[in-house]
Amino acid sequence: MNVHATDPSALLGNLAEALATGAIEVVDLTHTLDQDFPVIVLPPEFGQCARFRMEEVSAYDHRGPAWKWHNFTCSEHTGTHFDAPSHWISGRDVPNGSVDEIAAERFIGPVCVIDCSDGAAADEDFELTPEIIEAWEAEHGRIPAESWVLMRTDWSKRRGAAYLNMREDGAHSPGPTPAAIRLLVEKRGIRGFGTETVGTDAGQGSHYTPPYPAHFYLHGAGRYGLQCLNNLDRLPPTGAMLIATPLKIKNGTGSPLRVVALVPGRN
Amino acid sequence: MTDAILPPPKKDPQKRTRTQTLPSGLRSRAALGLTAAAAEGRFMLQVCGECGALQYPPRDACSTCLSTDLPWRDIDPAGELIAETTVRTSTNTYFRERTPWRVGTVRLDAGPSVMCHVHGDAPRGGRVRIINRLDKSGQGVLYALPPEGTPNMEDDPQLREITADPKFRRVLITDARSESTPALAEAFAKAGASIIFIGEPEGWRPYPHRTALEAIPNVQIVPLDVTDTASVAELAGEIGGKTDILVNNARFVRPGGIMDRGDTVFARDEMEVNYLGLMRLAQSFGPAMRGRGADGDNSAAAWVNILSVYAYSNMPAFGAFSASNAAAYSLSQCLRAEMRPGGVRVMNVYTGPTDDAWHQPLPPPKVAPAALARAIVSGLKDGLEDVFVGDVAKDLIERWRAGAKVLEREMSETDGGGA
C-alpha cells in the first residue's frame, strides 16, 4: 500500500483493498439491542428511558405470508447510543445540536483510547482525571483536536446487575471528573467522548459540580457523547478511525446506532 | 370428614390430557341473577317488591302476586337437608365423568325448598348451609355444606370442582418487584401451593425484598417482564403447561390525569403494563391453561387480575391509571369468555388505593399487601369471579350499582366524594 497517496480516489481504492485483505480490520463497538440490556434508571417520578421492545408483525404466516418483520420501540438513549448536544440543558441553544442537523463528516474521525481498565477493576467509582490524561499524552502524544476520546474501563464485560451496579445510594461506575472533561473539551478541542458505561458520566456523576459534568461540558460546547460501547479493548491507543452515524431523527437528541472502528490489522 | 387429597403424582407423559367437559350452561335470563350473585359468592334470591314473597326458582313474575318487581336480596343460607341421593351414572358427559355425585333438597329456614349439590359431609336430614357458587360452565349453582367446617372439607371432590383452591397447585405471580409480592407468595405458601413461580422483570437492577422472596418455601424466581412479548412467550414455553393459577400483580401506577401530565409517556407505560401486559400473558399462558382445566387435582384453575376499582368510575387524581384499568377490566371480560370452555375461572380482585409508595400521600383506609393476599387466596378457595377488597372498593361498587352517573359526578370532586 502506498501510504503517501494523496489522490482521493487512490486513497479510497487503497482503503478498499486494505479492508478486503484484512490489513485494516473493522471492530464492532456495539452491544446488541436486547430487551434485557440495562438502561439508565432515574428517580421514578421522572419519565424513564424506554427499554428496547420488539413485537412480531408477521413471520411468513397468515399475518404476512412471505415476510417476517417487527415493530420495535425504544428511547433515543437505549443501548449503544449517541448523545447530541440538544440532549443536555447546557446544549439546548447550540447550533446544529440535534442528530438530524449534525454534518455527516462529523460522524467519522480519529480516536484516542485511554485505558482505565486496571483502575476501574480496582475501584468501581474510578475517576478519569487530568493527570491520567496528561500521563497518557506523555506516552502517546497530545490528543489531536477534533478527535474522539474513549475511556476504556472494560465495563462492557459486566453483565446483569453488575453493569449499572445500583445500590441504595445510586449507581457506581467509573467516569471523568469535571476537570478532566474540561481539559478535553476546552484545551484539546475533542469532537466527542465515549464510555463503556450506561452514560458518559460516572454512576455517582450527579454529585459533582456541575452535576453530570461530561454531559454538561460536552454538550454545552456542541460536542458529542457515545455510551454503552463494547470491545474497546480491541482498539489501539491511537491510530484507529471511529465511524458513528446516528439515525437522522428530526430534532432527535440522540440515537441508538452501530458504532464501528477501523483499526490496523493484526497480521 | 373428607378424605384429604394427596400430592398429585407426576404427570404420565403417555396419557392424553383430559379435555374439560362442562355441565349445562343453559339458564333463563331471570336465573342469571343467581350467577351474578355467585360471582361474588353471595346467596341471593328474588324477593317480591310488592308482597315480599321469596321466589325460588328465579322467575319473571311473582309466584304470589304476579308483580314483576323482583329485586335480588341476600338470603339466610341456613336450612335442613330433607332429601338426598347419590347419582351413580348420568347421560351428561360432565357428570358421567365425575360420579358418584351427591344431590338433594334443602328446605330453607327462609321458606322455599331448593335443589342443590350436596357436600359429602352434609348430614342426611340434618342442618346445612347453602352456598351459591359458579360451576365449571360459569353458572350459579347451589351447594349444601355442613353447618360448621369439617376436617379437609375443602378437599371434597364435588366442592373442588367449583373452587380454585391453591392446595397442591402451581402458582405464577407475575411481578417480583411489586410491593405486594412477598405477602402474596407467603399466602400461597400457607395455602399449600406446591410451586410458587415469581416473575422477575429487569434482573439488572436490585429491589429490596428479593431475599425475603427467596426465603419463602416453594418459591422459584424466574425471568418475566409483562412489557416484553419475547420474555412472556419464553416463560410460557417453559412453565405454561404447569401454571395452574396465574396471579397478575404487575401494575404501573402514576398519579395524574390528562392536563397535569401534558404528555403520553406514563400513559403509554400504564397501557403497556396494565392492559397490554394482561394481553401478552393471556396470549402466551391462556391456551395452555384453557387446555388443562380438567387435568387432575392440579388442573389449571384460575387466572387472577388485580384491578383498580376505579376501572368502574374514573378517579381523576389517578385519571390515566384509572383509564388503563378500565381497559384491562374490559379485556378481562373477553378473557373470561375465552377461558370458560376450559373451565378456568377468571377472578378480578378490585382494590382501592393500596398501601404502597405511589399512594403514600393518600389518607387511609388503604389496602395493605397482606389484606390483598388474604382476599385473593380466600377468593380462590371460594371460586369467585369478583372480589372487592377493602372499604374503598366495597363502597365504590355499591355506589356504582346505585347510580353510575351520580358516582361519576361525585368522583370529580378532588377527594372522590369521600372515597
Model confidence pLDDT, tens digit, residues B274-297: 999 999 999 999 999 999 999 999
Whether A38 and B225 lie within 8 Å, measured CB to CB: no
Reported as half-sphere exposure (CB side, CA atoms, 13 A), residue B186 has a value of 15
Reported as half-sphere exposure (CB side, CA atoms, 13 A), residue B132 has a value of 24
Do A200 and A215 meet the contact criterion of CB atoms below 8 Å apart?
yes
Render pLDDT for A65-109 as a digit per residue (tens, 0 to 9): 999 999 999 999 999 999 999 999 999 999 999 999 999 999 999
How confident is the model at residue B415, as a pLDDT? 58
pLDDT surpasses 80 at B188: yes
Q: Is pTM, for the whole model, over 0.80?
A: yes
DSSP states of B148-207: S--TTGGG-HHHHTT----TT-EEEES-TTSTTHHHHHHHHHHTT-SEEEEEES-TTS--
pLDDT tier at B238, thresholds 50, 70, 90: very high
CATH topology (fold) of B170-418: Rossmann fold (3.40.50)
Cell matching residue B122: 352434609
pLDDT surpasses 60 at B17: yes
Dihedral of the alpha carbons of B229, B231, B233, B236, in degrees to the nearest 10? -140
Q: Where are the domains of chain B?
A: 32-160, 170-418
Identify the CATH number of the domain defined by range B32-160: 2.40.50.840
Q: What span, in angstroms and rounded, lies between the C-alpha atoms of A229 and A157?
A: 10
**Cis ω before B365 (30° cut-off from 0):** yes
Q: What span, in angstroms and rounded, lies between the C-alpha atoms of A50 and A251?
A: 18
pLDDT surpasses 70 at B30: yes
Size of interface A-B (CB pairs under 8 A): 39
Number of CB atoms found within 10 A of residue A166's CB: 19
| Secondary structure of chain A in HEC code, one letter for each residue | CCCCCCCHHHHHHHHHHHHHHCCEEEEECECCCCCCCCCCCCCCCCCCCCCCEEEEEEEEECCEEEEEEEEEECCCCCCCEEECHHHCHHHCCCCCCCCCCCCHHHHEEEEEEEECHHHHHHCCCCEECHHHHHHHHHHHCCCCCCCEEEEECCHHHCCCHHHHCEECCEECCCEECHHHHHHHHHHCCCCEEEECCCCCCCCCHHHCCCCCHHHHHHHHCCCEEEECECCHHHCCCCCEEEEECCCCCCCCCEEECCEEEEEECCC
How confident is the model at residue B419, as a pLDDT? 41
Taking contacts as CB-CB distances below 8 angstroms, the residues of chain B near A38 are 202, 204-205
pLDDT tier at B416, thresholds 50, 70, 90: low
Instruction: Please pick, among A31, A77, A81, A87, the residue that the annotation labels catalytic.
Output: A87
Whether B263 and A47 lie within 8 Å, measured CB to CB: yes
How confident is the model at residue A3, as a pLDDT? 53
Whether A47 and B205 lie within 8 Å, measured CB to CB: no
pLDDT tier at B417, thresholds 50, 70, 90: very low
Render pLDDT for B249-272 as a digit per residue (tens, 0 to 9): 999 999 999 998 989 999 999 999
Q: Where are the domains of chain A?
A: 25-264
User: How distant is the Cα of B362 from the closest Cα of chain A, in angstroms?
Assistant: 16
Q: Which of A2-6, A7-11, B25-29, B403-407 has the lowest mean pLDDT?
A: A2-6
The mean pLDDT of B240-253, rounded to a whole number, is 97
Identify the CATH number of the domain defined by range A25-264: 3.50.30.50
How confident is the model at residue B145, as a pLDDT? 98
Q: Is B360 on the interface with A (CB under 8 A)?
A: no
Taking contacts as CB-CB distances below 8 angstroms, the residues of chain B near A36 are 202-204, 223
Our answer to whether residue A4 is catalytic in this structure is no
Could you give the C-alpha distances from B403 to B46, B400, B416, in angstroms and in order? 21, 5, 15
Most distant pair of Cα atoms in chain A: their distance = 64
Q: Residue A46: CB partners within 8 Å, gap ≥ 6?
A: none
Render pLDDT for B193-234 as a digit per residue (tens, 0 to 9): 999 999 999 999 999 999 999 999 999 999 999 999 999 999
How confident is the model at residue A266, as a pLDDT? 81
pLDDT surpasses 70 at B414: no
User: How distant is the Cα of B328 from the closest Cα of chain A, in angstroms?
Assistant: 20
Taking contacts as CB-CB distances below 8 angstroms, the residues of chain A near B269 are 48
pLDDT tier at B380, thresholds 50, 70, 90: very high
Whether A53 and B231 lie within 8 Å, measured CB to CB: no
Render pLDDT for B36-89 as a digit per residue (tens, 0 to 9): 999 999 999 999 999 999 999 999 999 999 999 999 999 999 999 999 999 999
Point out the residues of chain A with pLDDT beneath 70. 1-5, 267
How confident is the model at residue B418, as a pLDDT? 42
How confident is the model at residue A1, as a pLDDT? 46
| Average of per-residue pLDDT values in chain B | 96
Q: Is B269 on the interface with A (CB under 8 A)?
A: yes
Most distant pair of Cα atoms in chain B: their distance = 69
Whether A53 and B266 lie within 8 Å, measured CB to CB: no
Q: What span, in angstroms and rounded, lies between the C-alpha atoms of B155 and B297?
A: 10
Whether B204 and A167 lie within 8 Å, measured CB to CB: no
Of the candidates B205, B206, B230, the beta carbon closest to that of A35 is on B230
Do A174 and A128 meet the contact criterion of CB atoms below 8 Å apart?
yes
Dihedral of the alpha carbons of A92, A93, A97, A103, in degrees to the nearest 10? 180
pLDDT surpasses 60 at B315: yes
Q: Above pLDDT 70, what percent of chain B? A: 99
Q: Is B121 on the interface with A (CB under 8 A)?
A: no
How confident is the model at residue A6, as a pLDDT? 83
